Amino acid sequence: MTDNKRKNPKIYMRMAVDVMKKSISEGKKDKPSPHVGAVLVFPDGTADTAYRGELRAGDHAEYAVLDKKNQHRELSGCWFFSTLEPCAPGARNAPKVSCAERIVNARISEVWFGIEDKNPKVDHGGIVYLLDNYVKVHQFDPEFHKEIEDANKRFNTWAEIKNIEAKAKKSKPKDYLNEKAMATNMNSLSEEALQKFLTESGRKWKPNSDTFLQELKDMELLEYDKKTSNYLPTGNAILLFGKRPRNKFPQAAVKAKVDFGNGELGAETFDDPLVLIPDKVDNWVRKVLPASIDHSKFKAKQVPAFPVEVIREALINAIVHRDYAKDGAKVQLEIKPDRIIIKSPGAPAPPVTIESLKNFTATSWSRNKKLTFIFNEMGYMEESEIGMDTFRSLRDKHHLPLPIINYDGSNVIVIFPRTADAVKKVSGKEAIDKLNEVELAGYDFVRSRKEVSKKEYAVHFDLSDKVAQNQLRKMRDLDLIGDNGEPHKSNKYKYVYKE
C-alpha cells in the first residue's frame, strides 16, 4: 500500500465533522461531554470512523476507532483526524490511557485536529505530547472551526470556567516575558496606548478606571500586589502598552527600509507600544510606497502601487506571532521596487508548519495568545486565521502574484513579488521562467487551490477546454504541478500543486 491513494485531507475533515454530530452526551449536569468525531485513514485511502459514546457511554471517539474497532490491525503510517484535540497524558483517571498516548502507541504518522481542548487537564497538552513523540500535527482548515465550536458550546463554556479556576489555584511559573517585566509599575504604561485599545475595542472606560484595571487583570495583563495594593504590568502588558517597551525588550521593534529604485534609500524604526505600531507603519508605507496612475476612470487617480492593507495584515501577523524570546531579533519590513519583504523572528509555532504557510493552509496557533487576543479585540486581526485568505486573494482581487513564504533558520520570510519577473527571481524554481504572465496567473490559481480540475481552471479564466488543458499540461511537464493519480480521462482527475 502507498500513501498516494489517500485523498485530500479536507475530505476526512468533513467526514470527522459529520460523524461528530452523532455524538451521544453522557447527560452529566456538572460536566457536559464534548461532541467528537474521529476518522482513521489507512494508507490505501479507506477510512473508519467513530463518535463519542458510539459503543459505550463516555467512550472517547479516538479510543473507539483505535482500540475497539481496529485493535488487531497494523496502524503504523495511518492518518488520524479528530474534531477535538486528543486528551493529554494525565487527563484520564488511571489506569485509563489518554487518547494522545493511544495515537503514539499505534504509530500513527500524522494527526489533524479541529479545535483545541480548553479543559485544563488537556489545554494544548495533547498536541505537545504528539509533537514531542515525532507525530506530524496539523489543524483542520478554518472553514470547519465554527461548526465544531457550535456543537461544543456547552463543553467549551465549562472548560473555560475550569481553566480560570485551575489558574487561580496554582501559582504561575516564571516565564520569559514576566521575568523581563520585573521592576515596572503602572507608570510604565502609555496612556495613549491604553486609550487606543479602549477606543478601537469599543470600550467606554477611562484608562485609569477601576473597571478597566480589573478587566486587564482578568485578561492576565496586570497582577495585583496585595502587599502594596498596586497593580503591576505583566510582560505582555509592557509589550502592548509600555511607554518604552524596548527598555525591557530590545527586540520589540519594527525596522523598516525602502529602496525607491533611483539610488535613494529610506529607513525608519518603530519602537512604540505594539498597539500603536500598525497605524504608524501604515502611515509611513503610504508616504514611501511609490504611487501609480489609475487611468481606468475619467479622472486619473493616485493609487498605491501595492495594496497597503495587505502589507498591514502581514506586518501585524509578524508582530503578534513572532518569538519574543529571540533577543535582539526585530521584525523587518523592506520595500523594494520589485518586491516587499517581511521577516518575523522565530520558527512557526507548532503545529503550524512552514509547509502549511507556503501552501496557504495554516491556521492560527500563536505562541503569544495575549497579544493575539488584544489585536483581535481591536479589530486588527482574527484569532482563527493568520492572513491566509488575504494572501490567497492577491491574484484575484489585486491582479498581483501570490506571496512566497520561506523559513531561513531564523525568520519566517514573506515575500510579495510586485511583478512577474520578481516571481521568477525569488521562487527558487527555474522552470517558472518558462511561463508567460498568463500562465503564471494559472500557476498561482493551482497553487492557491492546491488541486483543480481542467473544468474549474477553464471556468475561472474563461478559457476553452483545449487552451486550459494545454496550459495545465505545460505546467505539469515542467514539473511545477502534478496530478492526483486518477486516470487522465476520469472525472476525478485533478492537477495538484507541487511544493
- The DSSP string of 98-146 is PHHHHHHHTT--EEEEEE---STTTTTHHHHHHHHTT-EEEE--GGGHH
> At residue 194, does pLDDT exceed 90?
yes
Q: How confident is the model over 79-96, as a mean pLDDT?
A: 79
Between 330 and 381, the more confident residue is 330
Alpha-carbon separation of residue 172 from 116, 168, 179 (angstroms): 21, 9, 12
C-alpha 368/C-alpha 236 separation (Å) is 9
* pLDDT score recorded for residue 229: 85
> At residue 15, does pLDDT exceed 90?
yes
* pLDDT score recorded for residue 30: 66
Between 353 and 477, the more confident residue is 477
Q: Measure the CA angle with vertex 37, ends 36 and 41; round to 5°.
A: 145
* pLDDT score recorded for residue 124: 60
How far from the centroid of its chain's Cα atoms is residue 381's Cα? 11
Lowest-pLDDT range of 259-273, 297-311, 340-354, 380-394: 297-311
When the pLDDT of each residue in the chain is averaged and rounded to a whole number, the result is: 85
Burial 212-226 (b: 16+ CB within 10 A, else e): bbeebeeebbbbeee
* pLDDT score recorded for residue 453: 93
> At residue 22, does pLDDT exceed 90?
yes
C-alpha 29/C-alpha 486 separation (Å) is 50
The domains located in the chain, with CATH, are 3-165 (3.40.140.10), 178-247 (no CATH), 254-424 (3.30.565.60), 430-497 (1.10.10.10)
> At residue 334, does pLDDT exceed 90?
yes
High-pLDDT (> 90) share of the chain, %? 48
pLDDT tens per residue, range 24-62: 887 666 678 889 999 999 998 899 999 998 988 888 999
* pLDDT score recorded for residue 169: 52
For 67, counting Cβ atoms within 10 Å of its Cβ (0-12 exposed, 13-18 middle, 19+ buried), the class is middle
Helix (H, G, I), strand (E, B) or coil at 244: coil
* pLDDT score recorded for residue 152: 87
pLDDT band at 12 (very low <50, low <70, confident <90, very high): very high
Q: How confident is the model over 5-23, as a mean pLDDT?
A: 90
Alpha-helical (H) ranges within 58-114 are 61-63, 99-105
163: cell is 481553566
Confirm if 449 and 427 have CB atoms less than 8 A apart: no
* pLDDT score recorded for residue 298: 44
Lowest-pLDDT range of 55-64, 207-216, 283-292, 397-406: 283-292
Between 178 and 318, the more confident residue is 318
> At residue 279, does pLDDT exceed 90?
yes
Alpha-carbon separation of residue 302 from 289, 295, 398 (angstroms): 12, 9, 16
Lowest-pLDDT range of 96-110, 112-126, 402-416: 112-126
Between 218 and 96, the more confident residue is 218
pLDDT tens per residue, range 244-261: 999 888 999 999 999 988
pLDDT band at 355 (very low <50, low <70, confident <90, very high): confident
* pLDDT score recorded for residue 37: 95
> At residue 2, does pLDDT exceed 50?
no
Between 164 and 339, the more confident residue is 339
High-pLDDT (> 70) share of the chain, %? 87
* pLDDT score recorded for residue 382: 64
C-alpha 342/C-alpha 349 separation (Å) is 17
> At residue 174, does pLDDT exceed 50?
no
Q: pTM for the whole thing?
A: 0.70
